[in-house]
Structure formats: C-alpha cells, structure tokens
Amino acid sequence: MKQKKNGIFLIAVLAIIIIASAVLLSLGQKPLFPEKLGDMELKLHREGEVAVREIQNSHSAKDNVSPDQAHVAQYRNSAGNRATVSITAADTEKKATEKVDNMTRGMGVGGMFSIPEVLKIDGLKIYYTEGGGGYHYYYSKNNLVIWIAISNQDRIYRSELIDEAVKSIGG
C-alpha cells in the first residue's frame, strides 16, 4: 500500500515538473510576430503552403521556400494603416544574408521597385525601397529573411514602426 502511494506521489511530482517546465519554456520563447506593431494590431497570421504561395506570388522568388519556413502576418489599425510582414527561414545565417543579397541585386532593374537605400538599425543592414504602392523594408536577422511592406507614406511613422519591428519581429 505504501509503495502504491509513493508511486502516485512520484507521478504527481513528475507531472507538476513537466507542466511547470512547459509553462516556463513557453514564457521564455518570443513569438515570431508581436500582437501589436506600433499602433497596429496583428489581424492575420498565415503559415505553411498558404504563406509560401503568398510569398511566391508577391515576387519572383529565385530561392525555394519550404512550407515549414514561411510566415506572413498582416497588421492594421482603425486609421487605415497597414503592414504586411513576410518571413522565410534559411538553413543558416549566411544563407539568409545571401537571399537578401539576391533580392537586392534584382531591385530597381526594370522592375516595380526603386533602387534600395541602405539603413542601419540596431546593428542590422536594412534595405528600403518603394514600389507597388507601398514602402518596403527587408533584411536578414539570424537565419530569417524579413520583408515588411507599409502603406503609410509618412516617413517618420514608417521610421518609428520599422525601428520597433527590427527589435520585436523574429526573436
């Protein structure tokens, strides 16, 4: 009887440890997309095949994108401001940088985007371009390639938003 009580106690303690570990782990992991970006709220998050199609339809991607490595988020506010954030993962940080370099080489050459400007934010090289009715920022962070399209034409608004995005998107 005592051995049965010890077994039940041991199982209960292990269950508590597992639950506590899972809660602590989930608290320690930063989400890929924040719930708010500036004055906008996250309205939609797509991943997998749907995100791959959306990313590939938005430009002629030279690099293949795997479904488990593709995410698209849409942010909006009541004033009509919108931002779309596309994230793809590369195998390594170096490959992510190469993907950004490939995109940059294709910009402004008879396409729909202006020649990119280079900005430095939080130690990262951020590319800025205009086209397709929007204002676009793209960069690599760790092994991620991040593209942010913003609808608002106010440069100060976009600057504040992109500063926040660089710090909060993608961990």
Residue 38: predicted pLDDT: 93
Strands 82-89 and 117-121: unpaired
Residue 1: predicted pLDDT: 58
Whether 111 shows a pLDDT value over 50: the answer reads yes
Same structural domain for residues 16 and 65? Answer: no
Same structural domain for residues 80 and 158? Answer: yes
- Per the DSSP assignment, residues forming a β-bridge with 75 are 42, 83
Same structural domain for residues 26 and 37? Answer: no
Whether 25 shows a pLDDT value over 50: the answer reads no
Per-residue burial over 31-55, b = 16 or more CB atoms within 10 Å of its CB, e = otherwise: ebbbeebbebebeeebbeeebbeeb
Report the number of distinct structural domains present in the chain: 2
Mean pLDDT of 11-30: 45
Same structural domain for residues 15 and 59? Answer: no
C-alpha span between 9 and 108 (Å, rounded):
67
Whether 119 shows a pLDDT value over 90: the answer reads yes
Helix, strand, coil percentages, rounded to 5, for the chain: 40, 30, 30
Q: Is the separation of the CB atoms in 150 and 161 below 8 Å? A: yes
Q: Which domain holds residue 12?
A: 1-30
Same structural domain for residues 97 and 17? Answer: no
